[in-house]
Amino acid sequence: MKDQVGDSGITAESFEAIAQLAYRESGLQLAVEKISMIQSRLRHRLRALNMADFDDYSAFVCSEDGADERRHMISALTTNVSHFFREKHHFDILQSRIADMLLPKLKNGEKVRIWSAGCSNGQEALSIAMTLAEAIPNVLDLDIRILATDIDPNVVKFATAASYPERLTSGIPETLLQRHFRKGSENGETVFIANKELQQMIAFRELNLLTSWPMKQKMDIIFCRNVVIYFDLDTQNRLWPRFHQMLKPDGYLFLGHSERIADTDTAGFRTDGPTTYRPTTASTSTEPLSKEH
């Protein structure tokens, strides 16, 4: 009988194979201490494939025939927790820069692009869209759009449908909920569906941050929050220069509350408040943000 990791039902070899695969495919680090969570997240994949144990599963998912399953596996392993207006200070910064940074660009005929990288179920992108829609009348007439991407095809599908059970809407102030969502019912549950204006501002796409990025247009603002926390330092350090290259010289990069750029100089960024970064090229001549930012 092969050695199992604890009483997980996963052998050390299978765990290692799955962990290496997850790291290679998505940058996710599977810690052995989280084995019971990993096992419970993958158990339904074994059931779906009618497989008896994790040895069979790891052999299959690592094989040439396992390409489809690799996507299911990454989807099962990702943590998709999100909520509307999470870490609100970034939305305050966005709002404060609409008039003096984004609108002048739009009036000059420049496109404005905002990227929600690791968008999960879409709450971040919709919070950005609501912030813009509140501040800019007829926002759809202007060339300002949000790209929202995630490695997990299931969350991209959910986000595209833009329909949220009531329990997920608690972060949305009542006035915004009234203005930007319509109430509906799905399978006997009350849902709130984002209106067309918000939906048309956002393009949801599947994208693995570790692969090449197809976007040609540089971004004005990148939200990549609570994503790199699942990556090791090497993977994070490879991402920063890529974000830098993807940002306009006066852009912003927002990270999650427990994330930071370890070496800002090398990455070409300077800090501009908690979990807020700007390229070192960004001018400092704009109005300073208030203290709480």
Residue ranges binding ligand SAM (CB under 6 A): 26-28, 78-82, 86, 118-120, 124, 150-152, 155, 208-210, 225-227, 230, 256
71 or 225: whose CB is closer to ligand SAM?
225
58 or 116: whose CB is closer to ligand SAM?
116
> Smallest distance from the beta carbon of 77 to ligand SAM, in angstroms?
9
150 or 220: whose CB is closer to ligand SAM?
150
Own/partner long-range contacts of 153-159 (Cβ < 8 Å, ≥24 apart): 153/71, 153/75, 153/206, 154/75, 155/75, 155/78, 155/80, 155/119, 155/120, 155/121, 155/122, 156/119, 156/204, 156/205, 156/206, 158/121, 158/122, 159/119, 159/120, 159/121, 159/122, 159/125, 159/204
56 annotated as a binding-site residue: no
- 150 classed as catalytic: yes
Q: Which helix (H) or strand (E) element contains residue 124?
A: helix 123-135
> Smallest distance from the beta carbon of 13 to ligand SAM, in angstroms?
25
45, 113, 150, 152: the active-site residue? 150
- Helix count and strand count (H, E) for the chain: 12, 10
> Smallest distance from the beta carbon of 122 to ligand SAM, in angstroms?
9
208 annotated as a binding-site residue: yes
Residue pair 247/253 in contact by the 8 Å Cβ criterion:
yes
Q: Dihedral sign, CA of 91, 93, 95, 98?
A: negative
> Smallest distance from the beta carbon of 207 to ligand SAM, in angstroms?
6
68 annotated as a binding-site residue: no
**Residues that are catalytic:** 41, 150
Residues making up the binding site for S-adenosyl-L-methionine = 80, 82, 86, 124, 150, 208-209, 225-226
